[in-house]
C-alpha cells in the first residue's frame, strides 16, 4: 500500500537528489520532486481526474421504481473497543444514503455486505455492528439482511450473490457504494450474475470551482485522496486481470 502513495514517490526522488553526486541529476531530482509535489497537492487537478473516474450520481427522482434490495458495501466504520461503539468514517455516507433510500420507499430491504478486511482484527464483523445500529435507529430487523464473511469487493459480490440469488431468482437490486469505488464494485457484482443499478455516494468531484485557493494553493489533503484513487485504480486493474470483473 505504501508504495502507491505519491508522498513516497516524492520523498524517494528528493532523497535521490540529496545523495547523488552528479550535479545535473541532483538539480533534476529536486525539480522533479517540486513538480510532483505541486501536481499531487493541487485540488483542481485532483478533481478533474477524479471526475473522469467516478461513476455519475443519480438524482432521487431518477431512481426508477422500487428495488427489492439496496446492497450497501462495507468499509464505513471502525470499532472503538474501549467504549464499545462504532466510529463512522467518511464513506459512511453510503449508510446515510441507504437509510434515506429506505425511508423514501426506494428499497424494500437493506442488504449489508462486509465482514472484516483487517488482518489484525479478523473477528470484527462490520455488517453485524451496522445492523445493530440500524435496528437501534428504528429500522425493522426483518428488513435488514447481512453477510459478514467477505473481506474485499470480490468477496462482497460472491457472498451477496450466493444469498440473494438463492432467495430470489431475479431480485432487483440497487448497489450503493462510494463514487470512486463503483466501477470495481459494479464489475464484480455483474460478474457474479447479479443485475444491479448503481447509486453512488461520497462523491469527491463536485461542481467545478475556479477559486484561487482551489486552483493554485497546495492542499496536503489532496495527496491523501490521490493515494485513495491510485489504490482504487490499481485494484481495478488487478481485478480485471484476475477475471473478477
pLDDT band at 116; cut points 50, 70, 90: confident
Q: Which residues of 73-96 are buried (b: 16+ CB within 10 A; e: fewer)?
A: bbbbbebeeeeeebeeeebbbbbe
Count Cβ neighbours within 10 Å for each residue of 147-165 and write b for 16 or more, e otherwise.
bbebbbbbbbbbbbbebbe
- Cell numbers that stand for 147 in this block: 453477510
pLDDT at 117: 60
If pLDDT is split at 50, 70 and 90, which confidence band does 125 have? confident
- Specify the pLDDT at position 119: 57
In this structure, what C-alpha cell is assigned to residue 230? 491510485
Give dist(CA 21, CA 19) in Å, integer.
Answer: 6
Burial of 16 (0-12, 13-18, 19+ CB in 10 A): middle
Tally of CB atoms within 10 A around 67:
21
Q: Would you call 112 helix, strand, or coil by DSSP?
A: strand
Q: Left (φ > 0), alpha (ψ -120 to 50) or beta: where does 20 sit?
A: beta
The SS3 call for residue 35 is helix
Task: Give the CA angle between residues 174, 177, 180 to the nearest 5°.
Answer: 130
More confidently predicted of 153 and 82: 153
d(CA 22, CA 172): 63
Which of 180, 243, 209, 218 has its CA nearest to residue 53? 180
Domains of the chain plus CATH, in order, are 2-54+212-242 (no CATH), 60-201 (3.40.50.620)
Are 76 and 94 within 8 A, CB to CB?
yes
The pLDDT of residue 170: 82
What's the pLDDT at 110?
Answer: 97
Per-residue pLDDT tens over the stretch 188-208? 999 999 989 999 999 998 888
Give the model's pLDDT for residue 206: 82
The mean predicted confidence, pLDDT, of the chain is: 92
State pLDDT tens for residues 22-67. Answer: 999 999 999 999 999 999 999 999 999 999 999 999 988 889 889 9
What SS3 class is residue 68? strand
- Give this prediction's pTM: 0.91
Nearest Cα residue to 208 out of 47, 55, 54:
47
Amino acid at each position: 500500500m505504501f508504495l502507491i502513495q505519491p508522498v513516497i514517490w516524492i520523498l524517494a526522488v528528493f532523497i535521490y537528489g540529496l545523495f547523488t553526486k552528479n550535479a545535473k541529476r541532483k538539480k533534476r531530482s529536486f525539480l522533479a520532486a517540486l513538480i510532483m509535489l505541486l501536481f499531487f497537492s493541487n485540488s483542481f487537478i485532483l478533481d478533474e481526474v477524479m471526475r473522469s473516474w467516478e461513476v455519475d450520481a443519480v438524482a432521487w427522482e431518477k431512481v426508477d421504481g422500487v428495488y427489492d434490495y439496496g446492497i450497501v458495501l462495507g468499509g464505513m466504520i471502525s470499532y472503538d473497543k474501549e467504549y464499545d461503539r462504532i466510529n463512522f468514517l467518511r464513506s459512511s455516507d453510503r449508510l446515510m444514503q441507504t437509510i434515506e433510500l429506505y425511508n423514501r420507499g426506494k428499497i424494500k430491504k437493506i442488504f449489508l455486505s462486509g465482514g472484516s478486511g483487517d488482518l489484525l482484527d479478523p473477528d470484527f464483523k462490520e455488517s453485524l455492528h451496522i445492523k445493530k445500529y440500524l435496528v437501534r435507529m428504528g429500522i425493522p430487523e426483518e428488513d435488514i439482511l447481512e453477510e459478514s464473511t467477505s473481506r474485499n469487493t470480490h468477496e462482497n459480490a460472491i457472498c451477496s450473490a450466493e444469498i440473494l440469488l438463492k432467495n430470489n431468482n431475479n431480485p432487483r437490486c440497487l448497489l450503493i457504494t462510494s463514487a470512486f469505488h463503483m466501477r470495481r464494485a459494479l464489475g464484480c457484482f455483474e460478474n457474479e450474475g447479479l443485475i444491479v443499478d448503481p447509486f453512488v455516494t461520497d462523491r469527491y468531484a463536485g461542481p467545478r470551482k475556479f477559486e484561487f485557493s482551489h486552483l493554485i494553493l497546495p492542499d496536503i489533503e489532496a495527496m491523501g485522496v490521490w493515494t485513495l484513487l491510485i489504490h482504487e485504480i490499481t485494484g481495478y486493474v488487478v481485478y480485471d486481470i484476475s477475471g473478477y470483473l
